[in-house]
Structure 1
Amino acid sequence: MHDPLGETVERLDVIGNISRDVTHYPDHRGGSRLGGAAVLLAVAVVSAGGRAAPVCVLGDDLAHLPLSPEFEGIDWSASVQGDGASTTFDLRYDLVGDLVAVHSDYGVADGLTSHALRHIDQHPRGTYHVCCRRPLDAELVLRQLVQHRCAFSVDFFLPSAEEMIQVAARWLPMATTLFVNAAEYRLLEQVVDTSTLREVIVTDGPRAAVVRRFGQQTAHAVPPPHPAREVAGAGDTLAGTFLTLRAQGATTALALAEATAAASRHIAAPPLPIPAPRRA
């Protein structure tokens, strides 16, 4: 892919989980879906015209994903297959879309850290996004990226954000962009001097998302209203879209506006189904 100036845009290698998710809402919305930040963010990158490779461990039950036509635009060369079941998440939300409880079974994702470290060593000039979520050892991965002087961005997941922000704190000023929601930003402020952070995207559900550069707000965008069908993955969609548009040369304000619009469309759309294995 090329940007408007004719320069090649780097592939974004997304370090994270791919999972089987079950979501629940008080009004009986929800159900089974394909989840995990690595695939949701990669889908958003490809939808915005970019290149993405999930750096992930697929369980036996999802080993067929790279052969599924629904995901043929994704570069699966950075994925490996583990021996066992994929990660599963049971996610419970309230009516406004806030996560209130999560049960996790990490399965083969227990091998994600070692796989990610090997991949970084093999691709030290890559551009990375790190989904700082259990069971990833975020400190080891971020240290490796900094030692190789890789460009990298970061996001968090609220149930583990306090722990992950603390272990990642010393490396965050080296990140190009951080993605957090309003609650995670408050946790971030307690641990890191936000004036040292190059760029932080702060989302707040249906309220305005803002960009802060070295602590100062530089852009904001209000998501267009869409009835929420499924909120899981909205942050991943926003992050993937924003990073891709910025890599293509879009201004921060335009990238944020387009990213919030993409996230709004995501929550109104049907969730990603888990593709059935192809028959021989």
Structure 2
Amino acid sequence: MDRLDVIGNISRDLTRYPDHRGGARLGGAALFVSLAATKAGRPAAPVCVLGSDLAHLPQLPGLDALDWSARLQTNGTSTTFGLEYDLQGDLVEVRTDYGAAEALTEHALSHVSRRTQATFHVCCRRPLDVEAVLDRIANTTAPFSVDFFLPSAETMIRAAAPWLPAATTLFVNAAEYRLLNQAVDCSMLREVVVTDGPRAAVVHSFGRQVASAVPPPHHAHEVSGAGDTLAGTYLAHRSRGTAIAQALAKATAAAARYVAAPSLPIPAPRRG
């Protein structure tokens, strides 16, 4: 099966909820999409920039199953996010220090130019220059999918709009789908997966709903990364010909398991 190259951030996150859930953990869409795809049977490589504080991630048990050959290692600190959620799991505040990820666009452009026969997933989030990266991918004619992050979604959707009809799959939540409808003609989009927390996820194909699935009920321990887990799982199953409805059911189940599981801890730096 061909590898999925996931362009995005890997970060150190601090999540907070009003009921005192949350804490320090590993995060980043490139990590969670890649992990989910790998667990669902599709090789995946995060196309990311790691600071020296996370240089040892590729050797850690559980993360060593990923293909780390597409990472760029730099000095300095990795991206950090402070993510505050309400009790419904909706994001209410984001604090960011991009750190090493300031080099992500240049690294991604170079990687795409070398991997012209790859399959890409682009996490359309700051500080990535989405227009430059999608244009470079389009010029290679490589297949690609995309997702967004609500705090920057309006800007990123408008930036990505000219290339979205060429995408194999778009992943958005319900609020992002409303923004998407304002920016592009959704009847031109091949496959749009719309999530809505614990409510039914749906897939639209050329403007018509073709599948829906309600996530199995699980107590939510951590919601940050659930959408990325759904995306990676869905892409893995679709890549081997799984029908849309079945792929969506497997993806929503994986996301439900994810929110109930313990978070990935930030590993201590290597000694010596």
Normalising by structure 2, what TM-score?
A: 0.99
The residue aligned with 1:66 is 58
Aligned to 2:216, the other structure's residue is in SS state coil
After TM superposition, list the pairs within 5 Å mapping 1:246-257 onto structure 2: 246-257=238-249
Counterpart Cα distance in 2 of 1:139 and 1:70: 33
Indicate if the aligned counterparts of 1:68 and 1:278 stay in contact, CA closer than 8 A.
no
Equivalent residue in structure 2 for 1:188, among 166, 177, 180: 180
> Is the 8 Å Cα contact of residues 15 and 116 (structure 1) preserved in structure 2?
yes
The correspondence of residues 1-280 of structure 1 with structure 2, limited to 5 A, is 9-279=1-271
Q: Which amino acid aligns with 2:79?
A: T
Deviation at 1:276, TM superposition (A): 2.5
The code of the aligned residue for 1:140 comes to A
Supply the AA of the counterpart residue of 1:121: S
The amino acid of 2:120's aligned partner reads: Y
CA distance in 2, matches of 1:279, 1:45: 31
Q: What secondary structure, in the 3-state scheme, does the structure 2 residue paired with 1:239 have?
A: helix
Equivalent residue letter for 2:225: G
Contact 1:177–1:198 (8 Å) recurs in 2: yes
User: 4+ runs of 1 displaced by more than 3 Å?
Assistant: 277-280
2-side partners of 1:20 and 1:277: how far apart?
13
- Please state whether the residue corresponding to 1:53 is helix, strand or coil: strand
Partner AA of 2:252 in structure 1: T
Structure 1: distance between partners of 2:199 and 2:74: 40
CA RMSD between the two structures: 0.8
Q: Tell which deviates more after alignment, 203-212 or 268-277.
A: 268-277
Unmatched runs of 5 consecutive residues or more in structure 1 = 1-8
Aligned counterparts of 1:49 and 1:214: Cα–Cα separation in 2:
28
State TM-score, norm by structure 1.
0.96
Q: Deviations over 1:67-117 (max 9, x none)?
A: 212211100000011221100000000001000000000001000000000
